[in-house]
Structure 1
Amino acid sequence: MRIGFIGLGNVGGKLAGSLLRNGIDLVVHDLSPALVAGFVERGAAAGESPAQMMQTCDAVITCLPSPAASDAVVRQMLPVAGPGKIWMEMSTTDAAEIARLGAEMIATGAAAVDCPVSGGCHRADTGNISIYAGCDRPTFERILPLLTIMGRRVLHTGDLGSASVLKVMTNYLATANLLTLCEALTVMKAAGMDLATTYEAIAISSGTSFVHETESQLILSGSRDVNFTMDLVQKDIGLFQKLADLHEVPLEISPLMIEIMRDGQRRYGERAQSDRIIERLEEATGLSVTAPGFPTELIDTEPEERGAEVRPRR
Structure 2
Amino acid sequence: MNIGFVGLGIMGSPMAANLLKAGHSVTGFDVSAERVEQLSGLGGKGVTGVVDAVAGADVVITMLPDSPQVEQVAPLVIEYGKPNLLYIDMSTIRPETSRWVAREAAAVGVRALDAPVSGGERGAIDGTLSIMVGGEAEAFEAAVPVFDALGRTVVHVGPAGAGQTVKAANQLVVGGIYGLVAEAIVLLEASGVDAVAGLDVLAGGLAGSRILELKRHTMVKREFTPGFRIDLHHKDMGIAVAAAREAGVSLPLTGQVAQLVAAARAQGHGSLDHSALLKVIERLNG
Give TM-score scaled by structure 1 length: 0.87
The CA distance in 2 between the partners of 1:248 and 1:171, in whole Å, is: 19
1:33–1:233 Cα change, 3 Å? same
**Aligned position for 1:196:** 196
Identity of aligned pairs, percent? 25
Asked whether the 8 Å contact 2:55–2:81 carries over to 1, the reply is: yes
3-state SS, counterpart of residue 267 of structure 2: helix
CA-to-aligned-CA distance 1:286-314 (integer Å, 9 cap, x gap) = 6xxxxxxxxxxxxxxxxxxxxxxxxxxxx
Q: Kindly indicate whether the alpha-carbon contact (under 8 Å) linking 1:81 and 1:109 is maintained by their aligned counterparts in 2.
A: no
Q: CA deviation at 1:251?
A: 2.3
Q: Distance in 1 between matches of 2:256 and 2:217?
A: 25
2:205 maps to 1:205: yes
Q: Distance in 1 between matches of 2:61 and 2:25?
A: 13
Asked if structure 1 preserves the Cα contact closer than 8 Å seen for 2:224 and 2:272, the reply is no
More deviation, 96-105/52-61 = 52-61
Q: Structure 2 matches for 1:131-210, cutoff 5 A?
A: 131-210=131-210
Give the superposition deviation at 1:7: 0.4
Residue identity matched to 2:56:
T
Mapping of residues 238-257 of structure 1, within 5 Å: 238-257=238-257
Deviation at 1:283, TM superposition (A): 3.5
1:252 positional shift: 1.5
Deviation at 1:285, TM superposition (A): 4.0
What's the CA shift for 1:117? 1.0
Name the residue aligned to 1:53.
53
Correspondence for 1:87? 87
Is the counterpart of residue 6 in structure 1 residue 18 in structure 2? no
Task: Say if 1:273 and 1:167 are closer, same or farther in 2 by CA, change over 3 A.
Answer: same
**Contact 2:57–2:81 (Cα < 8 Å) also in 1:** no
Poorly superposed stretches of 4+, deviation over 6 Å:
none
Query: Distance between the aligned counterparts of 1:95 and 1:281, measured in 2?
Result: 31
Unpaired runs of 5+ residues, structure 2, are none
Matches within 5 A, 1:90-129: 90-129=90-129
Paired with 1:173 and 1:285, the residues of 2 have a C-alpha distance of 23
Give the unaligned 5+ runs of structure 1.
287-314
Q: Which residue is 2:75 aligned to? A: 75
The aligned amino acid for 2:229 is T
Matches within 5 A, 1:282-293: 282-285=282-285
Of 218-227 and 54-63, more deviation after overlay is shown by 218-227
Root-mean-square deviation over aligned CA pairs = 1.5
Preserved contact between residue 25 and residue 44 of structure 2 (Cα < 8 Å): yes
C-alpha deviation, 1:215, in angstroms: 2.1
Query: Which amino acid is the alignment partner of residue 140 of structure 1?
Result: F
Aligned equivalents of 1:70, 1:281: Cα separation in 2: 34
Q: Distance in 1 between matches of 2:160 and 2:249?
A: 23
Alpha-carbon distance in structure 2 between the residues aligned to 1:270 and 1:283: 16
Query: SS where residue 179 of structure 1 aligns?
Result: helix
Number of matched pairs = 286
| Greater Cα offset, 161-170 or 243-252 | 243-252
What CA distance in whole angstroms lies between the structure 2 residues aligned with 1:54 and 1:111? 14
1:58–1:86: 8 Å Cα contact kept in structure 2? yes
CA displacement, residues 80-116 of structure 1 (integer Å, 9 cap, x when unaligned): 2353211100001111101001210111111001111
Separation in 1 of the partners of 2:103 and 2:70? 14
CA distance in 1, matches of 2:108, 2:270: 38
